[in-house]
């Protein structure tokens, strides 16, 4: 069944009265007409701007949403950063993630490592004193006393006055020279011999590869990675350190630095 066609609204082709009778308009009429046209023009411009700004705002919001990572991506990035940082170096804090179980070591090494764990943050000892900003070798020597080493004519300490202790006790380079003459106490290992390094050994650093020794620490962990590489972690004084990675020390802190080790006998 057909329906009658609905007539469309009639088109208004007429001109506004003020245009149809422009010749008869007074000056006052012309001013009113001008003001009306100006108002209409301003309204049109504002409308266009508002619509345009709306599209810009929508486009900006869409772009921002597109650039922002999703929660899953953010979580993934965070995990990757944490894993990367953990692989680069262990944090200088006791809760680095490694279990502190010295009981599995020999009584001598266990006593040494317990001393290191208890005192790596200390800045004074009534027994040994403290060397401001240069206490690394003094602290390493203390750990060897805890391990059972006995003082001798070249390696000894002054009670309560670290500055008066022997050079071999408080100087990294002098300690190196002392051990070079005492193969019965320790054997030097290069950084390519990490597979022979043990907890309780001594690590020494030559930051500028000049042949001397600039820093000394005590090995706290030897970690074999899935790819077969070995990470050595150490503790020490001067820069109070616990479980810091040797790789981090010689690649990030002092690029070009060299690490050597003293494998302690017994």
Mean pLDDT of the chain: 77
What whole-number distance in Å separates Cα of residue 179 and Cα of residue 186?
6
**34-54 pLDDT, tens per residue?**
445 544 444 444 444 444 444
What whole-number distance in Å separates Cα of residue 116 and Cα of residue 237?
10
Band of residue 218 on the pLDDT scale cut at 50, 70, 90: very high
What whole-number distance in Å separates Cα of residue 82 and Cα of residue 231?
17
Mean pLDDT, residues 88-96 taken together = 40
User: Which has the closest alpha carbon to 139: 234, 29, 22, 43?
Assistant: 234
Provide Rg for the chain, Cα atoms: 40
pLDDT of residue 1: 44
Task: Pick the more confident residue, 23 or 158.
Answer: 158
Name the range with the highest mean pLDDT among 28-32, 47-51, 68-72, 114-118: 114-118
β-strand partners of 203: 217, 261
**149-188 pLDDT, tens per residue?**
999 999 999 999 999 999 999 999 999 999 999 999 999 9
pLDDT of residue 41: 46
């Amino acid at each position: 069944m057909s329906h009658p066609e609905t007539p469309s609204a009639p088109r208004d082709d007429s001109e506004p009265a003020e245009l149809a009778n422009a010749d008869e308009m007074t000056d006052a009429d012309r001013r009113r007409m001008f003001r009306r046209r100006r108002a209409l023009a301003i309204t049109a411009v504002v409308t266009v701007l508002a619509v345009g700004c709306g599209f810009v705002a929508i486009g900006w919001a869409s772009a921002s949403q597109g650039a922002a990572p999703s929660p899953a991506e953010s979580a993934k990035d965070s995990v990757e950063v944490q894993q990367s940082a953990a692989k680069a170096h262990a944090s200088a804090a006791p809760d680095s993630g490694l279990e502190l179980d010295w009981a599995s070591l020999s009584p001598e090494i266990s006593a040494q490592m317990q001393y290191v764990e208890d005192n790596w943050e200390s800045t004074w000892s009534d027994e040994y004193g403290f060397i401001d900003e240069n206490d690394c070798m003094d602290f390493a020597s203390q750990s060897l006393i805890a391990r059972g080493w006995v003082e001798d004519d070249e390696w000894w300490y002054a009670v309560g006055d670290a500055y008066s202790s022997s050079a071999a006790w408080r100087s990294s380079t002098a300690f190196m020279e002392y051990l070079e003459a005492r193969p019965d106490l320790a054997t030097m290992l290069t950084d390519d011999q990490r597979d022979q390094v043990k907890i309780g050994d001594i690590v020494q650093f030559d930051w500028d590869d000049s042949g001397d020794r600039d820093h000394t620490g005590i090995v706290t962990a030897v970690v074999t990675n899935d790819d077969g590489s070995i990470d050595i972690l150490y503790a020490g004084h001067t820069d109070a350190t616990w479980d810091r990675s040797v790789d981090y020390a010689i690649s990030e802190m002092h690029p070009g630095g060299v690490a050597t080790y003293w494998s302690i006998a017994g």
